[in-house]
Amino acid sequence: MPIHVRANQGDYAEACLLPGDPLRAKYIAETFMEDVVQRNSERGMLGYTGTFRGKPVSVQSSGMGCPSAAIVIEELVQLGVRKLMRVGTCGGLQPDLAMGDLIIALAATPADSTSTHYVAGEPHAPTADFGLVHEAVHQAKELGKPVRVGPIVSSDIFYQPDEGLAGRWSQRGILAVEMEAAVLFTLGALRKIQAGCMLIVSDVVVDGEFVRITDEEMRAAVDQMTELALHVVTAG
């Protein structure tokens, strides 16, 4: 039994959603899944297994940042999970993005130390599984959900002291910043599993002013993202 995800082989489905927030994991399980069984509560990191349209699926919270996410991902792999889809939030970096927009990540620039340690400091490009990206775009079209597809960046720092960094990321074509995808994609490659990431734009900077999404807008956007993610990971 792993140390932090206190479950046994077979407790988790091969496909699993990976929100950062434990309460979002609980909400997803209770709102979108059937025959739900709670599998983990260690350190408040809630995890559940159930079905979506008759197909087995799990949801497990990962916490905030790459170090926490790496522990959860490693232990889920130990438990037999083979398909992981992060469902989270991000800060929009492009001027044409709006709060509530849905992003499908192609790659995640590793502006974090955890991903770098996994590759011994060598240059690498953490990339999402193409099968999941392709399926996500296909399912989004089928469900009539508008999405943006492109690169993101994973940062160690939420309260960034470098005031010009977001602008430099934006100039390089990066769509958004978040805190977990780089290590998810890195471990996807190293552990030979499928790894993907969907994100809701929860805050943006407009003319230098920080603006955050309302709770009502967030709930509606999370519902749209979750429905799409569940269709993707249970396809086939």
Active site residues: 203
Of 15, 10, 56, residue with least CA distance to 34 = 56
Chain centre distance of CA 110: 15
What are the beta bridge partners of residue 49? 37, 58
Name the DSSP letter for residue 64: S
Ramachandran area for residue 21 (φ above 0: left; ψ -120 to 50: alpha; else beta): beta
- Map residue 220 onto helix, strand or coil: helix
Contact 150, 64 (CB under 8 A): no
Which H or E run includes 183?
A: helix 181-190
**66-78 vs 181-190: helix crossing angle, rounded to 10:** 30
Question: How far apart are alpha carbons 175 and 135 in whole angstroms?
Answer: 20
Torsions phi, psi for 225 (to 5 deg): -65, -45
Can you tell me the distance from the alpha carbon of 29 to that of 193, in angstroms, rounded to the nearest whole number? 23
Tokens of 28: 């997803």
Number of H helices, E strands in the chain: 7, 10
